[in-house]
Amino acid sequence: QVQLVESGGGLVQAGGSLRLSCTASGLPFSRLTMAWFRQPPGKEREFVVHINNNGISGDYADSVKGRFTISRDNAKNTVYLQMNSLKPEDTADYYCAATSSRWVSSGTRYTYWGQGTQVTVSS
């Protein structure tokens, strides 16, 4: 059974930090591209960043560049999203996703999805 389980969300003040984790099971994690997406309240889902199976990150969304960092630990089947200098506009449900494709930012290309973790940034 394939599972992606996110954790680490919560309520934080503007300027604060959070570290999201996504642990996978039931799939060949070390061979997959992983990504983080987010869906702000009342808005469509948007791409945040992806990372290839070797740990090289792709382009970040302009809105998070310089503040967010993606990483992965293949030994732990886990991908992380370190979020610093958080802003109220970062408030969203954050989802991790997996694909066997390379360097894709469209959600339609991702096969597996987690259930999401909520991040709320207060002003």
Whether residue 46 contacts residue 116, with contact meaning beta carbons closer than 8 Å, is answered with: no
pLDDT in tens, 22-74: 999 999 999 999 999 999 999 999 999 999 999 999 889 999 999 999 999 99
Does 103 score more than 90 pLDDT? no
Whether residue 22 contacts residue 6, with contact meaning beta carbons closer than 8 Å, is answered with: yes
pLDDT in tens, 76-92: 999 999 999 999 999 99
